[in-house]
Amino acid sequence: MSDLASPQNSPALAASPGVFARALRKPLWLRVALLAGVVALLEFYGRLYADPAFMSPPSLIVKAFFDKIAPQPKILEALWFCVAQIAAAYALSVVFGILIGLLIGASGFSRSAFLPIILLLYAIPQVSLLPLVILMFGLGPAAKIAFGFSHGIFPIIMNVVAGMRDVKELHLRAARSMGASRMDTIRHVILPHAVPSLFTGLRLGMTLTLLGVILAELYVSTGGIGYFTRVFAESYDPAPLFALTGCLAIIAVIFNELVRIAQNHLTPGKRRPPTLKNSVKE
Amino acid sequence: MERSSFATRSVQLAFLAVVAGAWFFATETGSVTPLFLPKPASVYVALERLVKTASFWSAVMVTLTTIAKAFAIAIVAGVLAGYAITRSKLATQVIEPVIAGLFTVPITLFFPMFILFFGIGTGSKVAYGATYAFFPIALNTIAAFSNMEERYLRAARSMGAGQFDTFRHVLLPGALPVLITGMRIGFFICFASVLGGETISSVAGIGRNIALAAELMESARMYAWITFVIATSVTLNLLVYSLENHIRSR
């Protein structure tokens, strides 16, 4: 159990600078070892010390998934609803985000007139509107899709506008001097240039869509995921709660990965947004 | 921001006027039920009545102290952890993607666990807000300290600077802009997540009061609270931006 957790300290491996030692110096394997170590620690702590009303070791969480989550069609249905809501909210965010972004970014005038309005709307803490959204759209999927959509659309708009703005004057002038019309310039110069920034927006938009849908799911405690989390939390039954949360986390990771894969395949020339890749900007 | 000419300003004013006018006319003609959208005048009256009550200020104080505690914990933990990780290149390579990966999963998912561990009071909101704000602060601390140009450090060392001098005069000033960006983002994430936590499940605070007004269908009072939150958040945005520019320009 603990041999995975601390591979560097293992004398046998340190003594032989062979394939294993070299593999262990690779960040990926160390990362896997680190995560395995955390899981092992949780298992150890959960089995021996933790209060079973609050904590559950990972093995029991996996067991709870098969015993209490998978056989219950109502929970599975709630999970599927969640997936469908995220997909719908994200699709709406992408379509309207790109459309509005293109309209705002199309000219310097529209940008300086409308971008401040978008920034102002983006600065509003949207959670304060959550009860209002539920009041308007009801307890069903419509409210969750609306709330996810209102979260996801803003980063997409802003990154589309930003991508269209940063086109080099030189490229624009070159296109014009070679006889490109306004439409040609947009189609062949501005749009390809905006793609990397667009994908930054799409990834951020996915993160925020997930946030919006899940916030709304948890707020509505009479049905869907929120109902089951409340039931498990109130009955001090942590294992199925952790298992359900784990399912949602896996769904979130899959959605994020889909966008990342799309980014890697669809970015022309695999251009990436500038470095400092994980510093959080906006 | 872009150049703001008279024309762009008038477009923005026209937009605001259209929104305000639509609100006024829709409520006056009764085409929207007052439950979803009360009259501007009744929201104003509700807001006026609200700020005179003692419970309003106690709710605001609860939320503000929760945010302050959560943000303080997030700064200390985020900066210390971020700085400690950047002391080793290998640790940066191993741990940074883990933190960045975790941050793309909405931590809101784990909110029921915070309630389970810390109860329904302010403790769970402090922990939740601190956890959410930890990530941008830690990530930006890592980015700030690990992208330092090696030649600056070498220059400082060759001119005889000790460990502390190097930190004080080279590392810290170089890292400050990115660090401060992390703290600003962390602060607003903290603000939003504390409000969200209070809205979802709580006994006190601003978010709880918004949810309560919605449950009681007192929409004028709910809009009054929302107006207060939006005004506060716009003011905070302006304050933090000017503070950030002030620190950067030094």
Contact B153, B87 (CB under 8 A): no
Picking from B7, B12, B139, the nearest residue to A278 by CB comes out as B139
Distance CA A62, CA A69 (A): 10
Position A24 scores a pLDDT of 63
Q: Is the pLDDT of residue A216 over 80?
A: yes
Closest to A136 measured CA to CA, from B210, B165, B37: B37
CB within 8 Å: A236 and B103: no
Its sign, for the CA torsion A267, A268, A273, A278, is: positive
Inter-chain CB proximity B237 and A127 less than 8 Å: no
**Which chain A residue has the Cα nearest residue B229?**
A128
Residues B28-75 pLDDT 10s: 887 778 788 888 888 899 999 988 998 899 999 999 999 999 999 999
- Rounded to whole angstroms, the maximal C-alpha distance in chain A is 75
To the nearest 10 degrees (0 to 180), the angle between helices A191-219 and A130-137 is 80
Identify which of B82, B105, B94, B61 has the alpha carbon closest to the alpha carbon of residue B209.
B61
Residue in chain A closest to B146 (alpha carbons) equals: A276
Read off the pLDDT of each residue in A268-272 and give the average, rounded to a whole number: 55
Instruction: Say if A235 is an interface residue toward chain B (CB within 8 Å).
Output: no
- pLDDT of the residue at A188: 82
CB contact under 8 A, A276 and B178: yes
Whether A110 has a pLDDT exceeding 70, the answer reads yes
CB A224 within 8 A of CB A81: yes
- Please name the amino acid found at residue A216: A
For the entire predicted model, the pTM comes to 0.83
Q: What average pLDDT does this structure show over A195-200?
A: 87
| CB-based contacts of B141, cutoff 8 Å, min separation 6 | B78, B79, B81, B82, B83, B86, B175, B179, B182
| Long-range contact pairs involving A36-45 (C-beta distance under 8 Å, separation at least 24) | A36/A4, A36/A5, A37/A2, A37/A4, A37/A5, A37/A6, A40/A1, A40/A2, A40/A4, A40/A5, A41/A5, A43/A1, A44/A1
A112 → closest Cβ in B4, B199, B222: B4
Inter-chain touch B229–A128, beta carbons under 8 Å: yes
Cα B225 to Cα A63: distance, rounded to the nearest angstrom: 44
- C-beta atoms of B94 and A131 within 8 A: no
pLDDT of residue A268: 66
Choose among A125, A147, A122, A141: nearest CA to A213. Answer: A147
Residues A55-109: tens digit of each pLDDT = 788 888 888 888 888 888 888 888 998 999 999 999 999 999 999 999 998 888 8
In a mutational test of the A interface, the residue from B43, B90, B115, B116 whose CB has the highest number of chain A CBs within 10 Å is B116
Contact A218 B181 (CB under 8 A): no
Q: What is the mean pLDDT of residues A118-139?
A: 87
Average pLDDT, rounded, for chain A:
81
Q: A 210-229 residues with CB below 8 A of B?
A: 210-211, 214-215, 218-219, 221, 229
* DSSP letter for each residue of A128-162: GGHHHHHHHH-SSHHHHHHHHHHHHHHHHHHHHHH
| Most A-contacting residue of B109, B114, B115, B228 (CB-CB within 10 A), to test interface | B109
In 3D, which of A258, A226, A259 has the Cα closest to residue A244?
A226
Cβ atoms of B196 and A130 within 8 Å: the answer is: yes
Nearest to B130, CA basis, from B198, B208, B207, B189: B189
Query: What whole-number percentage of chain A has pLDDT above 90?
Result: 21
Mutant choice from B18, B108, B185, B219 vs A, greatest count of A C-beta within 10 A = B108
Give how far Cα B128 sits from Cα of A102, A125, B69, B141, Å: 37, 16, 11, 20
Please report the pLDDT score of residue B84 as a whole number: 92
Rounded (5°) CA angle A226-A229-A231: 105
A54: helix, strand or coil: coil
Domain locations along chain A:
7-49, 67-270
Cα B135 to the center of its chain, rounded Å: 13
- Chain A residue nearest residue B191, CA to CA: A125
Q: What's the one-letter identity of residue A67?
A: D
pLDDT tens profile A137-192: 888 889 999 999 999 999 999 999 988 887 777 888 888 888 888 788 877 888 88
Size of interface A-B (CB pairs under 8 A): 172
The DSSP secondary structure of chain B, one letter per residue, reads -----HHHHHHHHHHHHHHHHHHHHHHHHTSS-TTTS--HHHHHHHHHHHHTSHHHHHHHHHHHHHHHHHHHHHHHHHHHHHHHHHTSHHHHHHHHHHHHHHHHS-GGGGHHHHHHHH-SSHHHHHHHHHHHHHHHHHHHHHHHHHT--HHHHHHHHHTT--HHHHIIIIIHHHHHHHHHHHHHHHHHHHHHHHHHHHHHS-SSSHHHHHHHHHHTT-HHHHHHHHHHHHHHHHHHHHHHHHHHHHHHH-
| Residue A77 neighbours by CB under 8 Å, 6+ apart | none
Average pLDDT estimate for A195-204: 89
- CA-based R_g, chain B, Å: 23
Taking only the tens place, the pLDDT of each residue in A61-70 is 888 888 888 8
| Cα distance between residue B197 and residue B121, in whole Å | 10
| Interatomic CA distance for residues A91 and B5, integer angstroms | 35
Minimal Cα–Cα distance from B105 to chain A, Å?
6
Q: Which two tokens stand for residue B25?
A: 């006319």
Q: B109: which residues sit within 8 A by CB, 6+ positions away?
A: A214, A245, A248, A249, A252
Contacts of A276 in chain B (CB under 8 A): 143, 147, 178
Mutate to test the interface with A, among B179, B183, B200, B232 (most CBs of A within 10 A): B200
Q: Which fold has domain B36-249?
A: MetI-like fold (1.10.3720)
Instruction: Domain A67-270: give its CATH superfamily.
Output: MetI-like (1.10.3720.10)
| Mean pLDDT of the A8-20 span | 49
ipTM: 0.84
Main-chain dihedrals φ then ψ at residue A50, nearest 5 degrees: -70, 150
CA distance B6 to chain A (A): 10
| B169-182 per-position pLDDT tens digit | 878 888 888 888 89
Please say if the pLDDT value at position A3 is more than 70: no
Residues A203 and B97 sit within 8 Å (Cβ to Cβ): no
**Which segments of chain B have a pLDDT < 50?**
1-2
Greater confidence (B5 vs A243) lies with A243
CB-CB contact of A259 with B161 (8 Å): no
DSSP state at residue A65 = I
Higher per-residue pLDDT: A4 or A189: A189
